[in-house]
Amino acid sequence: MKVIAHRGITSDNIRENSYLAIKRALKDKNIDGVELDIRMTKDKKIVLNHGSNIGFNYIENMNYIDIIKEKYITTLDKVLSINTDKILFIDIKVNHNYKKFADLIIKELSLTNKNIYLASFNKNIIKYLKRKTKHKVGLISFYYRRNSFKFCALNYISVSSKKLSKITKEIFLWTINKNNLQYVKNKFLKLDSYNLIMDIKRDD
At residue 47, the pLDDT reads 98
Which residue type occupies 26? L
Three-state secondary structure call for residue 181:
helix
pLDDT band at residue 96 using 50, 70 and 90 as cut-offs: confident
User: Among 8, 48, 18, 2, which Cα is nearest to 200's?
Assistant: 8
pTM of this structure: 0.97
Give tens-digit pLDDT for 103-135: 999 999 998 999 999 999 999 999 999 999 999
Average model confidence (pLDDT) for the chain? 95
Domain limits of the chain? Answer: 2-201
Q: Does the pLDDT of residue 48 top 90, yes or no? A: yes
Sign of the Cα torsion 159, 130, 31, 54 reads negative
- Whole-angstrom Cα distance, residue 97 to residue 99? 6
At residue 69, the pLDDT reads 84
Cβ-based neighbours of 33, under 8 Å, separated by 6 or more: 2, 3, 4, 5, 25, 26, 86, 87, 88, 89, 115, 195
CATH architecture of 2-201: Alpha-Beta Barrel (3.20)
Percentage above 70 pLDDT, the chain: 100
Q: Does the pLDDT of residue 204 top 80, yes or no? A: no
At residue 71, the pLDDT reads 83
At residue 72, the pLDDT reads 86
At residue 191, the pLDDT reads 87
Give tens-digit pLDDT for 148-190: 999 999 999 999 999 999 999 999 999 999 999 999 999 999 8
pLDDT band at residue 1 using 50, 70 and 90 as cut-offs: confident
Strand bridging mode 53-54 / 46-48:
unpaired
